[in-house]
A and B are shown apart, each in its own frame.
Chain A
């Protein structure tokens, strides 16, 4: 009940902030449209797929958009932490699990909604451009992206807990950039290979994008390995988030 009440508050706070619509829902759609226009403008060699093919771009954009969910989770946690509102809650019967559920559920719901919107936009763009886009695989991709959702919310809670309200957005921006570069959103990391691919392989972002793309292709066999890697990262980061938040609660009482 306490967790649900806190979840409800966080959903309301998020939905009443117009900036969250721009970044969480508007930006992925705009980026899809812009990159599709770029794709149309770049001539591809005969027989080779275009760089920003909508089937490659949509899942990557879904993962990239989750970084903004991370940003908003981080801002919410760090903002609450710096306000007296959290002090009031600390004095209430709420337990650390209520806070974690209350911060995770709202952003999880918004993230899933964001993924649906992004895939729906991808489908519409594919229809307009006459490109292929498998709607069944797109529907299957939504639940399959849950580990990515948990991963980014976990990262948001970690940064929101350890950073103050001024530092949190800056650090999150670095993670957003890292996701774009190291996740292979705009480039084919497998084609680049070498040390760069090794670095990308050590971080979760590349695996997120990779399995999201395989899922939309319907290549569930090749999807399994990056999916499992991402699942491990998601569990790891979420456990760290719970630990860090619980430690913060304890240290605040000193």
Chain B
């Protein structure tokens, strides 16, 4: 398996507070990788560093062979992100939001058309395509946000808490969307929903206090602490650290 992301001792400090503490990870191409942890565990900060949104305090990470410290402009066209808060242009329609993202990433017209058709079909956006983003429900806005992350045909996509704040139906619908992407693109997904990580992710890294406490498939995590369900396993792994 080819490596998509290689992280070595990646550290982020805000003053005296260490948000991410010397983490080491290797994520493979086509993998759906989960960063699991409670609020403040360091998941979003890790993603912010990997996407160039936040400066690295120490350590290094390579994305598709490029350093996040020195080659950010080479990395940016290869990745995309759907942030924790819904990041859409409210007064633009769904179609215009997708076109805007594609144009910002420098895609040519024929590629935009092809990619639009693919994304609209796979995320079932047909029924809202001409609707202004601000008039969409939370679930649809989140779906659009993910579509905007995928329209540029990235090799790696970061989904930061994609189902945060959604009702159970909207969450399950988004799960389907993410499941359909499996194997087509490398996905780094952060979540604090245990069942979400278990249902979707090939491998999971459990984070607490900026550190990676455990890494493996959901079965491996449960087995490592002798528990039958992911919730008990999670509590066992991070319980003493919180």
Contacts and interface: CB of A to CB of B under 8 A. Distances in A.
Contacts, number: 77
B83 interface: yes
Contacts of A88: 81-83, 87, 101, 145, 148
A84 B100 CA distance: 15
Nearest to A86: B87
B92 A91 contact: no
A238 B45 CA distance: 33
Interface in B51-99: 51-55, 73, 76-77, 79-92, 96
Contacts of A89: 104
A126 B91 CA distance: 38
Nearest to B51: A91
Q: Is the interface of A mostly helix, strand, loop or mixed?
A: helix
A93 B55 CA distance: 16
A93 B73 contact: yes
A168 to B, nearest CB: 18
A177 interface: no
B87 A84 contact: yes
Contacts of A8: 100, 103
B106 interface: yes
A94 interface: yes
B53 A87 contact: yes
B105 interface: yes
A92 B105 contact: yes
B161 to A, nearest CB: 11
Nearest to A1: B106
A2 B104 contact: yes
B51 A16 contact: no
Contacts of B106: 1-2, 93
Nearest to A88: B87
A253 B55 contact: yes
A93 B145 CA distance: 17
Interface in A107-149: none
Interface of B: 51-55, 73, 76-77, 79-92, 96, 100-101, 103-106, 132, 145, 148
The 7 closest A-B pairs by CB, nearest first: A5-B103, A84-B85, A84-B87, A88-B87, A16-B91, A93-B76, A84-B83
Interface of A: 1-2, 4-6, 8-9, 12-13, 16-17, 83-85, 87-94, 252-254
